Amino acid sequence: MILSVVSLALLLHAGPMKSDPDDLEAVFKNLQLAETTKDAVEVKRLSVQAYKLAQEIVLAPAPADATDKEYWPKRVAWAHEIEVHAEYALYATSLGAAPATTIDLLATLEAANPKSKYLDNAYGTYFVALNKAGAAAKIPAVAEKAVAHFPDNEDLLMVLADTAMNQKQSDRALNYANRLLAVLPRHAVPEGIPAAEWERKRGASLTRAHWIAGVIYAEKNNFFAADKDLRAALSSLQGNPTMLAPALFYLGLSNYQLGKTYMRKAQVLEAVKFSQQAAAIPGPLSQQAWKNAMIMKTEADRMR
């Protein structure tokens, strides 16, 4: 990120200010040097200092002197550029750093500006670092606070959907899962992430969101929506019995209810198949799935 040379020159040749621009210029130059050497400690210290000095300029009242007043908008614009660069320095230095350093730098960025545009791309990295540092328990609270500023961020929505699902908060989980399903198809490949890696991540998130929505819809007896979402997830669940068994179980239940309602024998027979597949996966749903399959098969035999 390169600051405007014209704005800087105008600022330095303007009249006296409450916050000495030379101090900010020196801090900024030192910050750039720390960035080139990836000195995280200095990047943090100088970013915070630069941000503070820049804010003093941005928040100060306009000067009364006519000469100073003429250059004031340019001073403020330059200070804003410094603020943005300080945010960028914290974000860029956090990438590839040790987990503890990443956490420290991104927490510092959040404290400086929780609406920073750089945070929108940082939360995935932030959560990975928290996991590696043994601080995964902090992730839901971070996501809950951040989603107010970034309501379409896929990493935040995924965390919140999973957290609500695990805590059996069905309505919250369904809300976040559906929001995730709405925003993911619109998102382009984020800068700095290989396209193939992004597609894998997006595919996994879509699968998880469809699964959460499908299971909750089935539990709410919305069998049409459950069938639609669980079918969308099913092909990606092979090798994941923890998710596959509930998907098959509720696909069996949903198709049985839909088949009975609309007198579709083929759909009831498909429900038998899903239930038998669920029964074959060891776990808490296995026995009930087997019983369901027997009941469904009997019902299908009675249908024309």
CB crowding 196-235: b at 16 or more within 10 Å, else e: eeeeebeeebbbbbbbbbbbbbbeeebbebbbebbebbbe
**Which amino acid belongs to residue 286?**
S
Model pLDDT, residue 69: 77
| Token pair recorded at residue 222 | 């919305």
Task: Work out the angle at residue 62's Cα, subtended by the Cα atoms of residues 56 and 63, and round it to the nearest 5 degrees.
Answer: 105
The candidate with the shortest Cα–Cα distance to 11, out of 51, 57, 44, is 57
Bigger pLDDT: 16 or 40? 40
Beta strands in 56-185 (DSSP E): none
For 118-135, write each residue's pLDDT tens digit: 999 999 999 999 999 999
Tell me which H or E stretch contains 167: none
Tell me how far apart the alpha carbons of residues 289 and 183 are, in angstroms, rounded to a whole number.
34
- Measured from the Cβ of residue 174, the count of other Cβ atoms closer than 10 Å reads 23
Percentage of the chain with pLDDT > 90?
82
Average pLDDT rounded to a whole number, residues 34-44: 96
For 245-282, write each residue's pLDDT tens digit: 999 999 999 999 999 999 999 999 999 999 999 999 99
* Mean of the per-residue pLDDT values of the chain: 91
Asked if pLDDT for residue 144 goes beyond 80, the answer is yes
Let me know: does 1 contact 88? Beta carbons within 8 Å. yes
Tell me how far apart the alpha carbons of residues 123 and 176 are, in angstroms, rounded to a whole number.
17
Tell me, what DSSP letter sits at residue 147?
T
Let me know: does 237 contact 202? Beta carbons within 8 Å. no
Let me know: does 53 contact 19? Beta carbons within 8 Å. yes
